[in-house]
């Protein structure tokens, strides 16, 4: 199955999960994430603001703030096809949702990639080797390829998003561990190779 077919299959699967069930699964995944050593040891954590049918890490964002951690989120420049990161202190901040439904911060303090300890990343699918299938823009692949970024990379998803195999290309970047509502899987690729 190629990337396009797998994306279509996973998008259909995610749409079929009832909103109540998605919320329950997101809470369980957040509990697992918060209990990881990577989360506990991190001072600066990059998370994301979920779009519909995506595992929501808002409970983990709240826990990070309660623990005195710095939370940053992606800020996408659609024209340049680039992703930067900015610090947020509230989920009530001003966000733009003009493109693709993504809540894009309007303001926020930029954070150098080298300060990030942990990146929690969404995707449509992951496999048991640490490969991820994003939505096709390669924003996270380019971000992960930055020489400045030394953070641990965490995939965050529903258990339904764990597949046998994700098709990969040369530019595709892996995650170091995956957190779902049912398990935490650590991969033997800590260098992201």
Where exactly are the structural domains of the chain? 3-186
CATH of 3-186, one of 3.40.50.720, 3.30.499.10, 3.40.50.300, 3.40.50.10420: 3.40.50.10420
Per-residue pLDDT of the chain (193 residues; tens, 9 = 90+): 788 999 999 999 999 999 999 999 999 999 999 999 999 999 999 999 988 899 999 999 999 999 999 999 998 776 777 888 999 988 876 666 666 667 767 778 889 999 999 999 999 999 999 999 988 788 888 999 999 999 999 999 999 999 999 988 888 899 999 999 999 999 986 544 3
Task: Please say whether the beta carbons of 12 and 161 come within 8 A.
Answer: no
Smallest Cα–Cα separation from 56: which of 134, 141, 155, 156? Answer: 156
Q: What is the pTM of this model?
A: 0.91
């Amino acid at each position: 199955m190629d990337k396009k077919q797998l994306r279509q299959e996973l998008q259909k699967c995610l749409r079929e999960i009832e909103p109540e069930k998605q919320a329950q699964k997101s809470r369980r995944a957040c509990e697992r994430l918060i209990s990881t050593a990577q989360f506990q040891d991190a001072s600066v954590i990059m998370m994301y603001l979920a779009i519909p049918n995506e595992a929501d890490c808002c409970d983990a964002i709240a826990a990070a703030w309660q623990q005195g951690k710095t939370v940053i989120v992606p800020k996408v420049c659609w024209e340049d096809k680039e992703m930067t990161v900015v610090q947020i202190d509230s989920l009530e901040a001003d966000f733009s949702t003009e493109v693709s439904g993504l809540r894009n911060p309007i303001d926020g303090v930029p954070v150098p990639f080298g300060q990030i300890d942990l990146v929690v990343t969404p995707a449509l699918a992951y496999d048991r080797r640490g490969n991820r299938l994003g939505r096709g823009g390669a924003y996270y692949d380019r971000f992960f390829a930055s020489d400045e970024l030394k953070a641990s990379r965490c995939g965050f998803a529903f258990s339904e998003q764990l597949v046998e195999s994700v098709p990969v290309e040369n530019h595709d970047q892996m995650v170091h561990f995956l957190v779902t509502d049912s398990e935490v899987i650590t991969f033997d690729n800590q260098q992201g190779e």
